[in-house]
Amino acid sequence: MFDEMWGRDGALRSPYAHFNGWLEGEDPKRLRAKQREAEELFRLTGITFNVYGQAAAEERLIPFDIIPRIISGHEWQKLSRGIEQRVRAINAFLHDIYHRQEIIRAGRIPKEMIARNDAFLPQMIGVSPPGGVYTHIVGIDLVRTGPGEFYVLEDNARTPSGVSYMLENRETMLQMFPELFSQNRVRPVQYYPRDLLRSLAASAPAASSEKPTVAVLTPGIYNSAYFEHAFLADQMGVELVEGHDLRVVEGRVAMRTTKGYRPIDVLYRRVDDDFLDPLNFNPESALGVPGIMDVYRAGRITIANAPGTGIADDKAIYSYMPEIVEFYTGERPLLENVPTWRCSEPEALTYVLDHLDELVVKEVHGSGGYGMLIGPTASKKELKDFRRKLKARPGNYIAQPTLSLSTVPIFTRTGLAPRHVDLRPFVLVSPGGIRITPGGLTRVALKKGSLVVNSSQGGGTKDTWVLED
């Protein structure tokens, strides 16, 4: 097992050198008080998320751990090159898949992977988004198994969330331990909202004015990520709108203000494709804007991310990512994919059924850690039930080996204890280029030995430092 602070053999790793010096001089009592103070701070600022299936409007805090996760500048440089390559490939893939589909003609991806995929949006065929950007905001989920060994677990190309925690975690650390930031050269993350606004504005339709009007579209206060939607709108100084604030007026999407309807150039939407436009997609949707897709196809609004990007982060497509990266960039992928068995293939299915207790099995369209099986920790009954589900709908699942995820210490009542982590760096894409905020959101499984870091399943978060070497 690899610990990011203590390595495999208990020798302090260099990114943590300064931090450890500080930690040894700290009174555990003071740290315990700080941990409580942090929780109080989060509760008061209202940084909460809603849990689906719980009583309406119930809000919870995501637990925050005060021990930072530290990455060296050198490690980060390598990672960010790999992330940039991957994000470029994803955008090229999306353009191709909704236009000439060269990758299918070249036989690198089977046709039915696209044509029979629910995440493929026929309404997007032949549509070119303003500035050619499909995924304005991407979150790439990474895990680590050793000093130089990073794997991409998942690409989030629809509406990745969590960036507000990245920002608030840093804000909290700055308030509680200012001295740490004088002693360590930590690369700042606070520019994210400014960069996001610039990036969105740069992606506006060509006919927009110098200062395009940007707005954030939220499903509303009951959405699990509402806090983040409000937070980002606030930080960018733009309006936070809901579907019923918008309508199509004279061929533009416009928001109802106290002075009348005012057109919008760029809509950062945090509403799923299916709910975006009741006229073009789900007719039951009350969250979207009737006719927005027609305005979009006419090139008069930018929707970020573009509709139909889900085809790029689909878990069945994931297994083809190495081919996708190579096909569009002509380079070897810099970031590793986790080996993946596609249960739709008979040989793979046989292997998966034979090794179920060693594997992690995920639903192709699932997210948030719901509906997955972790073989090594599952009970006999769970394995049996899952075997049945797998046989009934093999195409619905992929399987991966259980990786030995790295750990980072968390602060507990009895001192530091190692827990498994992952990392979600946030990437901004505009016609002007790609920008990656140094660090990202570290999620941590608070239960001893657990590999599930999702906040909906009891995970917590940590501040993530990238050091200036």
Partner 1 sequence: MLGKTANGLFWMHRYLERAENMARLIETGQRIALTTLGTTEIEWRSVLETAGVAVGYDAQNETVTKDEAVDWMLRAKANPSSVLSCFAAARQNARMVRTAITNEVWEAVNGTYMQAQELLARKVSERDLPQTLNAIRQRTALVRGATHGTVLRNDIYDFTSIGTYLERADNTARILDVKYYVLLPSAMSVGSEVDNVQWETILRSVSARRGFRMEYGSTAGPRDIAQFLILDKRMPRSLAFCARKIRVNMGYLAGNYGHRPPSFGMADHIEKDYLSYDIEAIFDYGLHEFIQKLLELFDELARQIQTDYRFYE
Nearest 5°: CA angle at 163, between 157 and 334? 50
Smallest separation (angstroms) from partner 1 to the CB of 181: 21
Cis peptide before 91 (omega within 30 of 0): no
Instruction: Kindly state whether residue 252 participates in binding partner 1, applying the rule CB under 8 A.
Output: no
**Ranges within 259-288 binding partner 1 (CB under 8 A):** 259-260
Smallest separation (angstroms) from partner 1 to the CB of 248: 14
Separation between Cα atoms, residue 291 and residue 223, nearest integer Å = 23
Q: What one-character-per-residue DSSP string does 332-365 give?
A: --SSEEPP-EETTSHHHHHHHHHTGGGEEEEETT
Of the candidate residues 92, 233, 360, 410, the single one contacting partner 1 (CB under 8 A): 233
Q: Can you tell me whether residue 93 is helix, strand or coil?
A: helix
Instruction: Kindly state whether residue 96 participates in binding partner 1, applying the rule CB under 8 A.
Output: no
Of the candidate residues 18, 187, 256, 389, the single one contacting partner 1 (CB under 8 A): 256
Instruction: Kindly state whether residue 122 participates in binding partner 1, applying the rule CB under 8 A.
Output: no
Q: Which is nearer to partner 1, 244 or 355 (CB)?
A: 244
Instruction: Kindly state whether residue 230 participates in binding partner 1, applying the rule CB under 8 A.
Output: yes
The region, left, alpha or beta by phi > 0 then psi within -120 to 50, assigned to residue 206 is: alpha
Binding mask 10-49 for partner 1 (x = CB under 8 A): ---------------------------------xxxx---
Q: Which is nearer to partner 1, 230 or 372 (CB)?
A: 230
Tally: H helices and E strands in the chain: 16, 23
Instruction: Kindly state whether residue 234 participates in binding partner 1, applying the rule CB under 8 A.
Output: yes
> Which is nearest to 83 in space by CA: 128, 135, 142, 169?
142
Q: Which is nearer to partner 1, 218 or 309 (CB)?
A: 218
Instruction: Kindly state whether residue 62 participates in binding partner 1, applying the rule CB under 8 A.
Output: no
DSSP 85: H
Instruction: Kindly state whether residue 190 participates in binding partner 1, applying the rule CB under 8 A.
Output: no
Phi, psi of 265 (to 5 degrees): -95, -40
Separation between Cα atoms, residue 24 and residue 26, nearest integer Å = 6
Q: By CB neighbour count within 10 A (0-12 exposed, 13-18 middle, 19+ buried), where does 158 fall? A: buried
Instruction: Kindly state whether residue 54 participates in binding partner 1, applying the rule CB under 8 A.
Output: no
Are 271 and 307 contacting, i.e. CB atoms less than 8 angstroms apart? no
Are 265 and 130 contacting, i.e. CB atoms less than 8 angstroms apart? no
Q: Which is nearer to partner 1, 231 or 275 (CB)?
A: 231
Q: Which is nearer to partner 1, 61 or 374 (CB)?
A: 61
Smallest separation (angstroms) from partner 1 to the CB of 233: 5
Instruction: Kindly state whether residue 241 participates in binding partner 1, applying the rule CB under 8 A.
Output: yes
Instruction: Kindly state whether residue 200 participates in binding partner 1, applying the rule CB under 8 A.
Output: no
Instruction: Kindly state whether residue 258 participates in binding partner 1, applying the rule CB under 8 A.
Output: yes
Q: Can you tell me whether residue 237 is helix, strand or coil?
A: coil
Instruction: Kindly state whether residue 77 participates in binding partner 1, applying the rule CB under 8 A.
Output: no
- Identify the bridge partners of residue 430 per DSSP, sorted by sequence position: 433
Of the candidate residues 244, 384, 391, 448, the single one contacting partner 1 (CB under 8 A): 244
Q: Which residues bind partner 1 (CB under 8 A)?
A: 43-46, 57, 221, 226, 230-231, 233-234, 239-242, 244-245, 255-260
